[in-house]
Structure 1
Amino acid sequence: MRRTILALSLLLAATPAFACTEEELQAKSISLADLVKQITTKDPSQAAEWRKRQVEVDRVAERTTNFDEICAAYDKAIAEAQAKQ
């Protein structure tokens, strides 16, 4: 019984309860832009690298209409940007 409950809880944790929405996507876009602005203000030599990362996220958005996939790309870029601060 414990194994079944554990397996179900792991399955539920691995499956997002709600899909990424357009509003969340927009918020992530703004968040990434703000983080990049902060990073490049502190260190202008990083501007080209971060511009490239933003273009990579934009390409994901051009390639698919799956908000979850686009949000995942933003989440990855945001995590990288937060690590740079």
Structure 2
Amino acid sequence: MRRTILALSLLLVATPAFACTQEELQAKSISLAELVKAITAKDPAKAADWRQRQVEVDRVAERTTSFDEICAAYDKAIEEAKAQQ
């Protein structure tokens, strides 16, 4: 029991270190925009698809105030964008 309480306490203390910050969120937004710009410059036919993906990320941001959820949406889109480069 004592170990469980200690482990939970350490987990709760460590959790904020993994939280996404507003600065990270802004950096991810810029990164995605740059990746999308590069992708669409190479292949303009992909512009509509990437515009839709950016709208989906924006919808996540509209639906929640959790930076972690928004950052996760950006991370997913950035990963997809990097795969298409």
TM-score normalised over the length of structure 2 = 0.81
**Percent of aligned positions with the same letter in both sequences?**
82
Structure-1 residue corresponding to 2:70: 70
- Deviating beyond 4 angstroms after TM superposition, the runs of 4 or more aligned structure 1 residues are none
Structure-2 residue corresponding to 1:56: 56
Q: Does 1:44 align with 2:44?
A: yes
Distance 1:20 1:42 in 2: 31
Any gaps of 5 or more consecutive residues in structure 1? 1-7
Question: What RMSD in Å do the two structures reach over aligned CA positions?
Answer: 1.5
Distance 1:64 1:48 in 2: 25
The amino acid that maps onto 2:38 is Q
Structure-1 residue corresponding to 2:28: 28
The number of aligned residues is: 73
Distance 1:26 1:17 in 2: 18
Identify the structure with the greater helix proportion. Answer: 2
TM-score normalised over the length of structure 1 = 0.81
Distance 1:26 1:63 in 2: 17
Measured after TM superposition, the shift of residue 16 of structure 1 is 7.2
